[in-house]
């Protein structure tokens, strides 16, 4: 997280069948909850749905902008019973898919098993683009929310002078060490010029 963004970790117990982590953060006046999940292909789908539903019950709020991302191992480029069941659960939390392009391309297949789910009523102006990073057999995705206004918050420094008996005594001591001859000489010249006028 960038050091100008206020955030907190959300403690979610991880199951062996599902890896999940989440953070809650504030950007301007918007509170986001970002949930990142990985569903191994060996995970029973019914258990995955049950775990995801319990997590959503724990973190969902009307005042929070919820975003889910990760590798769910369900191909969103094809119709399937798994996709339909997951969509039903997500729609009940106002979430829908934002990725409509392949995220894993091999010699023989092209699938979208990595996805981002957003509330399109809160995020109507957005773009999602693939990022081919060469580090994995899956491409990354970049979500840009254009309707969220951010402000570049620069750290503000306030310098205050502490005034108490100790600092006043120190100030007087520092004044006693000051060479005042230039000030007195300037003052004498001013007085002399007034007399001559």
Contact between residue 82 and residue 119 where contact means Cβ atoms under 8 Å apart: no
> What mean pLDDT comes out for the span 81-94?
94
- How many residues are listed for the chain in this entry? 197
User: Domains of the chain by range and CATH?
Assistant: 6-145 (3.60.10.10)
- Cβ neighbours of residue 4 under 8 Å, at least 6 residues apart? 152, 153
For 6-55, the pLDDT digits (tens) are 667 666 655 557 788 888 888 878 889 999 999 988 888 999 999 899 88
> What mean pLDDT comes out for the span 172-194?
73
Tokens of 71: 């590798």
Question: What stretch of H or E contains 185?
Answer: helix 181-196
For 124-167, the pLDDT digits (tens) are 899 998 888 777 778 888 898 888 776 666 666 777 778 889 98
Overall pTM > 0.85: no
Q: What is the DSSP letter of 137?
A: S
d(CA 181, CA 189): 12
């Amino acid at each position: 997280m960038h050091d100008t963004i206020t955030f907190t970790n959300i403690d979610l117990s991880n199951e062996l069948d599902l890896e999940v982590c989440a953070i809650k953060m504030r950007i301007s006046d918007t509170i986001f909850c970002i949930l990142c999940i990985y569903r191994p292909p060996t995970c029973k789908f019914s258990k995955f749905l049950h775990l995801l539903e319990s997590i959503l019950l724990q973190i969902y709020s009307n005042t929070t902008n919820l975003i889910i991302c990760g590798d769910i191992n369900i191909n969103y480029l094809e119709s399937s019973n798994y996709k339909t069941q997951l969509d039903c659960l997500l729609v009940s939390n106002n979430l829908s898919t934002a990725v409509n392009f392949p995220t894993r391309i091999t010699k023989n297949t092209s699938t979208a098993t990595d996805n981002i789910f957003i509330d399109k009523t809160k995020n109507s102006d957005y773009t999602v683009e693939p990022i081919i990073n060469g580090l994995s057999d899956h491409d990354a995705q970049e979500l840009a929310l254009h309707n969220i206004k951010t402000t570049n918050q620069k750290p503000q420094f306030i310098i205050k002078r502490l005034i108490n008996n100790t600092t006043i005594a120190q100030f007087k001591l520092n004044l006693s060490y000051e060479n005042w001859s230039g000030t007195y000489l300037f003052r004498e010249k001013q007085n002399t010029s007034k007399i001559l006028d």
